[in-house]
Amino acid sequence: MKRLTLVVAVLLWVGASWAQGLFEVHRLVITSGIQAREPVDALEEVAADTERLYCFLEARDIKEDTTVVFLWLHEGKQMARVELPLKKGYRWRTYSSKRLGGLKGQWEVLLQDAQGRELAKALFRVR
């Protein structure tokens, strides 16, 4: 009976590790700026005269060098695609930025892994 329990536990652990991919998304934040490699704020809504926003990512437990993709969408339409590297290690911080061009409405930034799987998303509105 103990052998069966061990096999089930190992299969559950392997399944959970595979689902998480090569790293953990610790934080994904929309911000008005980056200082000392950290977001200065966390925004959900901005004024239409906001020129540029940043999407900050903190990844942890990166198992091997890889790439992440930031997809910036306005009202469902892709406005930008930015690929950035993540290096193997405990922690990696990076960000993508986008000029908003006064486009009002719902925005989202989708974070994808190198294979195009969605890992996280950050939403914000321009009013």
CATH number at 119 reads 2.60.40.10
Residue 12 belongs to some domain of the structure: no
Residue found by looking up tokens 């405990």 in the block: 90
Whether 74 is in a domain gets the answer yes
How many domains is the chain partitioned into structurally? Answer: 1
pLDDT at 16: 34
What pLDDT is recorded for position 20? 52
CB 98 within 8 A of CB 72: yes
SS3 104: coil
Residue 47 within a domain:
yes
User: Residues 107-123: what's their mean pLDDT?
Assistant: 96
Residue 21 class from Cβ within 10 Å (0-12 exposed, 13-18 middle, 19+ buried)? middle
Q: Is the predicted pLDDT of residue 124 greater than 80, yes or no? A: yes
Give phi and psi for 23, each to the nearest 5.
-160, 170
What is the pTM (predicted TM-score) of this model? 0.82
Asked whether residue 17 is domain-assigned, the answer is no
Residue 8 within any structural domain of the chain: no
10 lies in a domain?
A: no
Residue at 4 is within a domain: no
Tell me the average pLDDT of the chain: 87
Q: Output the six-digit token pair for 122.
A: 């950050």
The larger pLDDT score, comparing residue 113 to residue 17, is at 113
Closest C-alpha to 69, from 87, 48, 55, 83: 83
Domain of residue 63, residue span = 22-126
**pLDDT tens digits, one per residue of 5-49:** 333 333 333 333 333 578 999 999 999 999 999 999 999 999 999
Give the pLDDT confidence score for residue 14 in this predicted structure. 33
**What's the average model confidence in pLDDT over 84-101?**
97
Tell me, what's the pLDDT at 79? Answer: 98
**Residue 73 domain flag:** yes
Res 31: pLDDT: 98
- Which CA distances in Å does 18 have to 12, 21, 64? 10, 5, 14
Per-residue pLDDT, 21: 73
